[in-house]
Amino acid sequence: MRLALAEFFGMRKRMATYVVLIVLLVLMGLVYFAAGIGARSVGAEAGGIFQFPAAYAFIGQFVFGLGSLLAVAYAAAVAGGDWTWGVPRLLIARGHSRAGYVLAKALALAGMLAVGVVVAFGVGILFNFAAAAIAGVELGNPIAGDGLVELGKSLLLGFPVVLERALIGFAVAIVLRSQLAGVVVGILLYIGEGILVTVMVAISIFSRGMDLLGGERSGPEWFQYLPFTVGDSVLTPDPAATIGEGLEGLILRQVPLEQALIAVFLYGLVSVAVSALFVERAEITA
Amino acid sequence: MAVATRGLVKRYGRQPALLGLDMSVPPGKVYGFLGPNGSGKTTTLRLLVGLLRPQAGAMWLLGAPYTWRDRKRLYRVGSLIETPVFYPFLSGRDNLRVIGSAGPPTPSARIEQVLDYVGLHDRAGSTVKTYSLGMKQRLGVAAALLSDPDLLILDEPANGLDPGGMVALRETLRWLTEQGKTVLISSHLLSEVEQLADIVGIVDRGRLLREGPLEQLVRDTGQIRVRVAVEEMPRAADILRRVAPDRQLYGIDRGPRAGWFHVTFDPARAAEVNRALAEAGIYAMGVEAGNDLETLFLQLTGGVTPGAPPPGPSA
């Protein structure tokens, strides 16, 4: 725990921590600005996306969607950087447990991601107000009615997904023992899985003879349980209610929330276990 | 023994690094671990601090058998292996905080203390990426001292240090041994080791070639070179064999170096050799005594051919 705290405070002073957060916030700000302008030109009904509590889903798409990709890169940078700089050698030579080092690092990462998610969500709410103002939409109290519950639900369901995806990037960087390779491979895996799932969805559509609206939705299919994909079923348990969902929502049932949460938990756990096992067995030559 | 290894074997794939290394580091001494590049020094040190696992052999650390699983034994060991490594975006002090939070508990006052030891207190708040190599090296020594270890393992600690830093390091290490600590130091700076070490181990191609008190090693393998007239070489050889029986002796009887004898003998006895020759009516035209660690090191590791011609005759 001492090491986890020290690593957490160390991460505060790391440039990548701020770069990742700023990239997310800038992109989110640009999209909200565009959405505000667009809603203003289309009309007041388009500004409904800014109304709370539905707006939390829109913010969540950024924080947990784009944020996940950035979290994968950040986690890989955090874990891989240690190997690039050779820090594990220093800590292990002091008698620190190898698995303990991995756990401390993962805990520190989780803490930093939690802070990042809260900050990004908070700024997202401000952006939502700004975009609504641009669109000329009146917004009520964001925590009135179900607002607070929805906000809490978004954060509580979204954070484990971001963390799970980040831990996969973390594990990749540790196995590759490199910051750059970890970041690149982590992002490639994330994007690659997205492409694979898109292809599989397309195959599913063709196999149904393009009958998108008729008939029962099938599934869930095996590819919906893939590590970076299963979290989508946690983030958007009812895809029809969200904005920007793909065609899969029309033809495929989501993975049940409980199953998806268990899968997210297991993937996170396996990522940490693989990292710890790898470090336990590693010959530290650099 | 503070450190001992017996039959230590380590290979990287098919590449052998250690081929049965036997070394013994007595407690409370400075042990100089010497060897050319790739001889197995760093591999040995990595094995001792649990970064690597041997394929065969046994290790003892601080008086008890040791394997990489006995990680808590390392609480009493401070180490600096290869180049010093730190988070570049953290200050020296913050790096020590992170390092101090791993392994044995380290009071924060100790961080300030070790920063003082290595003379880094004034720059402790600057990020490590602004440090020179010498400053990083000093921070590495500070990190090794954090847990007030009984055994200090330092791999090339003088790398990048300026002369003042080297003197300070020497004084710190001397002071530590006065406190009863053991220091195992690997270096290619023979003069540094010569000034520091009580015991020397010379390793090459994964095997320990020689080990023992520095003075004794030098005495046993020192060399006296003496030049006489070529026509007197046979008689001189008899006298030298009498003075230094069972010692390696050879002479050069042709070429520009003709007349030189090389005898493996305690260099402190050069005058005795000269006197023996003079008493037999042979007057040496030159006498040289080689008793430095460098000569010994080069002879053992094949850096020069043993008994190569001396640099030049002296009157």
B66/B186 same-domain check? yes
B130/B157 same-domain check? yes
**Nearest alpha carbon to residue B210 among B5, B35, B48, B3:** B35
Tell whether A195 is within 8 A of chain B (Cβ).
no
pLDDT band at B171 (very low <50, low <70, confident <90, very high): confident
Asked if the structure places residue B149 within a domain, the reply is yes
Q: Model confidence over B266-299: pLDDT tens digits?
A: 778 888 899 999 999 999 998 887 666 777 787 7
Radius of gyration over every alpha carbon of chain A, rounded to an integer in angstroms: 20
Tell whether B130 is within 8 A of chain A (Cβ).
no
Asked if the structure places residue B180 within a domain, the reply is yes
Asked if the structure places residue A286 within a domain, the reply is no
Tell whether B2 is within 8 A of chain A (Cβ).
no
Option in A90, A97, A283 nearest B53 (CB): A283
Q: How far is A164 from chain B (nearest CA, A)?
A: 25
Asked if the structure places residue B308 within a domain, the reply is no
**Nearest alpha carbon to residue A190 among A82, A27, A66:** A66
pLDDT band at A46 (very low <50, low <70, confident <90, very high): low
Interchain proximity A2–B75, CB inside 8 Å? no
| CA atoms of A285 and A171, how far apart (whole Å) | 19
Domain assignment of residue B13, given as a range: 3-211
Q: What is the pLDDT of residue B314?
A: 36
Domain assignment of residue A50, given as a range: 2-281
Q: What is the pLDDT of residue B237?
A: 92
B38/B165 same-domain check? yes
Average pLDDT, chain A: 87
Asked if the structure places residue B153 within a domain, the reply is yes
The residue among B160, B177, B211 that closes a domain is B211
Interchain proximity B12–A285, CB inside 8 Å? yes
Counting the structural domains of chain B, the total is 2
Q: CA separation (Å) from A235 to A162, A247, A264, B54?
A: 10, 16, 11, 48
Asked if the structure places residue B306 within a domain, the reply is no
| CA atoms of B238 and A152, how far apart (whole Å) | 99
B63/B93 same-domain check? yes
B37/B110 same-domain check? yes
The residue among B154, B187, B211 that closes a domain is B211
Q: How far is B213 from chain A (nearest CA, A)?
A: 28
What is the percent of chain B where pLDDT is above 70? 95
Q: Model confidence over B11-49: pLDDT tens digits?
A: 998 899 999 999 999 999 999 999 888 899 999 999 999
Q: CA separation (Å) from B274 to A20, B196, B232, B311?
A: 78, 32, 14, 20
Q: What is the pLDDT of residue A213?
A: 57
Give the distance from CA A136 to its chain's centroid: 31
Tell me the residue length of chain A. 286
Tracing tokens 């620190």 back to the chain, one arrives at A96
- The residues, ordered by sequence, that sit 6+ positions from A278 with a Cβ below 8 Å of its Cβ are A171, A174, A175
List CB contacts (< 8 A) between A90 and chain B: 85-86, 99, 102, 143
Tell whether B89 is within 8 A of chain A (Cβ).
yes
Average pLDDT, chain B: 87
For B86, which residue in chain A has the nearest alpha carbon?
A: A87
Q: What is the pLDDT of residue A100?
A: 94
- pLDDT for residue A240 is more than 70: no
Asked if the structure places residue B313 within a domain, the reply is no
Asked if the structure places residue B138 within a domain, the reply is yes
The enclosing domain of B281 has a CATH number of 3.30.70.100
Tell whether A18 is within 8 A of chain B (Cβ).
no
CB A195 within 8 A of CB A182: no
For B89, which residue in chain A has the nearest alpha carbon?
A: A14
Rounded to two decimals, the pTM is: 0.82
